[in-house]
Structure 1
Amino acid sequence: MNYEETRGLVRGLNDRYPDIGLIVVREQRTDLEDWVDDLPLHAVLSPHAADGTTQELLDRLSNWLISNGRADAEDFEVEPEPEVDDVISGLINTEPISDSESVEDSERTSEESVEEAPEEIEWEFPPLEEGVPSEAIAVVAPKGGQGKTTIAVNLATGLAEVAPNSVVLIDADLQFGDITAVLNLRPERTIVDAVADAAQDELVLKTALVHHPDGFFVVASAVSPELGDQVQASSLAQLIERLREFFRYVVVDTTPGLSEHTLVAIEHVTDAVFVSNMSVASLRAMRTEFQLLTTLGLMPSNRHIVLNQVDKMSGLTVKDAEAVIGAPIDVAVPKSSAVLLASNRGIPLIHDDVRDPAARAVRSVVMRIAPEAFPKRTKIQRRRRSHGTE
């Protein structure tokens, strides 16, 4: 994180947990003194610190916090760190220990919480409102690297605000689908299980879905291309139609290009979102896709064209892109580092940084599908999520 992000996080943590100990892991850069002087940090740790050095610092800070309670961070003295070559990776998540607790009590409580089996949450397919049709949306791109998955993930997230727990996102990129990585999910089953004969049973089908905290379900892609090859195009079509029986919205993230599976997905949806970046090669490929779909009679009546990663320095304008495609652009999403940051954090962009121009543009894609999607709702959800994950 940069300085501003770190300052905001530090202030939030100190306000909520006054007794918390804070260590920043950062390289020895020229601006490090500014960080230490301006932020109430207890210590600075090198990202190359050895396990022993890190553990020693955590132990000393823990003992000091128990002894000193709310004492200022600047009173905690740290000896110079030895030069080491080992690299630490991972996230250390600690709860503040109050003065009344002993270290032994804290450790015992931690052990008990680990041994406690998580409560299994029972859920049912939400009944569709009478007279409200189920809609299916395919997200399509002529090539890889266009931002198709980002659009699909945020589309499902936004639609879940309108229809909580009545949205399912299918990762139908059977070769290299990575929606679960983008959302930081660890499913036990995949699309291979969802299309199996046994999944015709509603209870079995439910086990192939994983729930996301933002109120939608995910069908994970196959864990390898070899397993993905087991999923027939006809099986994908049946899965889409099957899920439309239970969900208000079915979002399908397709394989790049117009493979057999992508064509079948387009054939079984009500809307298609076509995504391309600013490169001439991708724009021309999209034009070819449109020509082929028109020839085959598969062009969806509800078509939405998204121009992604729009950058003034690319040498092209939106009008240039429209001329190459031969169709008007519906949504232009500006290039933004917030997209990568959100992906690395495992949080949908529209809930990670609601003010970012790219997030606002992506939200307009949601509103094309569901005009009732109200932008202010994301601020409420973001506040709820941040409180729930600290």
Structure 2
Amino acid sequence: MTRYLLVSRSAEYETRLRRLFRARLQTLPGEYLTFGVDEAVDRVRDTPAIALLGPLLTLRETKTLSETLAERHPGIGVVVVREQRADLEDWVEEVGMHAVLSPEATDAATESLLERLDDWLVTAGRAEAPEPTGDEADPQGEDATISLVDLLLKPESAVEEPAAVATSVDVVTEEVPEPAEPEWTLPDVGGVRTEVIAVAAPKGGQGKTTMAVNLATGLAEVAPNSVVLIDADLQFGDIANVLDLEATRGLAEAVDAADDEVLIKTLLIRHHDDFFIIPAPRSPELADTIDPARMGALINRLATMFRYVVIDTTPGLGEHTLTALEHATDGVFVTSLTVASLRALRTEFELLVTLGLLPQNRHIVLNAVEKNTGLVVADAEPIIGAAPDVIVPRSSGVLLAANAGVPLIHNDPRDPAAKAVRILVQRIDPDAYPTRRRIHRRSRSHESQ
């Protein structure tokens, strides 16, 4: 049974506490508060004895959480995780809490505080004694340093509060610990010649199609007419719409023609940026007619016809996406900077490693990154198990390019997102750098149609 509850928007702090308390800790990402505090608290399992709120929660969120948790779990201890600041007295007055813990407090100090508060709650009759878990850390001495404000909440019973939970302010400056190593890391990959690039994402709406389209566009600059882009997002693929193309044939017909190179060529749609496209099936019901084995055969055939085969996959790890990754030399994995998406990508990696389907070349793209969202880029690595390779900032240029039916890297090469996507292209082929001649030639070609 879990003993502690952490509600936080800091993936780094969560990873550290999960390592420290293991099975004793359950976590609730702060992003769930978007749907309301009641909805978030509904996800709490068991009956935690102590709740740690923060870091990166607002005063309003912390106050409401404290009140709701106290209502749902009477007697619960509340620890606010935040830095010592001038407005601390406001928090003390408005939030029903037992202590304020610095997020930079050492592991020993953190354990010491929770153990002392836990003991007091049990003694005061507010919580049941914890069950042995076998992974309890050695108890720390009473002199463990910690940055905290200890506030007394008088128990209804006549039990005297132990000295460990004092009523005075105790502020101690501590050395900031080194960041914790990730609990799980992606294995190293070997490096092979790029031929087939599968662009994948654990969830929809991550920008996977944008990356696939711009990869094909950038690679076609150095390998004109030797790049093919497959829209294997079977039910709702929209590459044809993004590139303003009229598709009268699609992947279903191409899979049927996997053994006939001549027939495959008649099914290709040529884009004016010197690459070819196989659109998604023309209707969602046709997706069920595509046999994964036959799709694998088509990928192999196209790899003999083109220098680069780029595949935009269906979100998640369905049968067809696994087929694409199985035949890929490169995997481009796209995620946004949200806890839910990062965790989903980690789960996807763990499964691919277990199945032995992680491509030999790997590229992690952190997409639509913006400031003041509660997470920073450094928070991604402990969750994913590897550092992101390309950071793409959020930009309105992505939507403008899609609405114009033009690849982002050609619509506005100076856009920050376009420059970041260009870095991804150059990871595949270092010669794919932008030139004025290339961009202008394609712009004129597009306008003349």
TM-score normalised by L of structure 2: 0.56
Does structure 2 conserve the Cα–Cα contact (< 8 Å) formed by 1:134 and 1:245? no
Of the candidates 240, 249, 256, which is equivalent to residue 308 of structure 2?
249
Task: Report how far residue 175 of structure 1 moved.
Answer: 1.1
Of the candidates 323, 333, 343, which is equivalent to residue 274 of structure 1?
333
Does structure 1 conserve the Cα–Cα contact (< 8 Å) formed by 2:332 and 2:364? yes
Which residue in the other structure is 1:382 paired with?
439
Task: Report how far residue 372 of structure 1 moved.
Answer: 1.7
Which residue in the other structure is 1:223 paired with?
282
1:175 aligns with 2:235: yes
Does structure 1 conserve the Cα–Cα contact (< 8 Å) formed by 2:258 and 2:298? no
Which residue in the other structure is 2:294 paired with?
235
Q: 1:275 to 1:133 in 2, by over 3 A?
A: closer
Residue ranges of structure 2 left out of the alignment (5+ in a row): 1-191
Task: Report how far residue 387 of structure 1 moved.
Answer: 2.8
Which residue in the other structure is 2:357 paired with?
298
Does structure 2 conserve the Cα–Cα contact (< 8 Å) formed by 1:134 and 1:244? no
Which moves more between the two structures, 380-389 or 243-252? 380-389
Task: Report how far residue 341 of structure 1 moved.
Answer: 0.2
Which residue in the other structure is 1:259 paired with?
318
Does structure 2 conserve the Cα–Cα contact (< 8 Å) formed by 1:133 and 1:248? no
* Equivalent position amino acid for 2:437 in 1: I
* Equivalent position amino acid for 2:417 in 1: A
1:207 aligns with 2:266: yes
1:151 aligns with 2:211: yes
* Equivalent position amino acid for 1:163 in 2: A
Matches of 1:160 and 1:326, distance apart in 2:
32
Does structure 1 conserve the Cα–Cα contact (< 8 Å) formed by 2:193 and 2:329? no
Task: Report how far residue 139 of structure 1 moved.
Answer: 0.2
> Where does 1:49-68 land on structure 2 (aligned, <5 Å)?
none
* Equivalent position amino acid for 1:286 in 2: L
Q: 1:133 to 1:141 in 2, by over 3 A?
A: closer
Partner of 1:274, secondary structure, is: strand
Which residue in the other structure is 2:244 paired with?
184
* Equivalent position amino acid for 2:357 in 1: L
Partner of 1:312, secondary structure, is: coil
Matches of 2:345 and 2:207, distance apart in 1:
14
Matches of 2:218 and 2:428, distance apart in 1:
10
Which residue in the other structure is 1:327 paired with?
386
Larger Rg: 2
Which residue in the other structure is 1:347 paired with?
406
* Equivalent position amino acid for 1:387 in 2: R
Matches of 1:184 and 1:160, distance apart in 2:
18
Partner of 1:200, secondary structure, is: coil
Matches of 2:194 and 2:228, distance apart in 1:
11
* Equivalent position amino acid for 2:238 in 1: D
* Equivalent position amino acid for 1:265 in 2: A
| % identity of equivalent residues | 63
Does structure 2 conserve the Cα–Cα contact (< 8 Å) formed by 1:311 and 1:334? yes
Task: Report how far residue 352 of structure 1 moved.
Answer: 0.3
Matches of 2:377 and 2:194, distance apart in 1:
33
TM-score normalised by L of structure 1: 0.64
Task: Report how far residue 201 of structure 1 moved.
Answer: 2.3
Task: Report how far residue 263 of structure 1 moved.
Answer: 0.7
Task: Report how far residue 309 of structure 1 moved.
Answer: 0.2
Higher helix share: 1
- What's the Cα RMSD here? 1.4
* Equivalent position amino acid for 1:230 in 2: T
Does structure 2 conserve the Cα–Cα contact (< 8 Å) formed by 1:157 and 1:214? yes
Which residue in the other structure is 2:15 paired with?
none
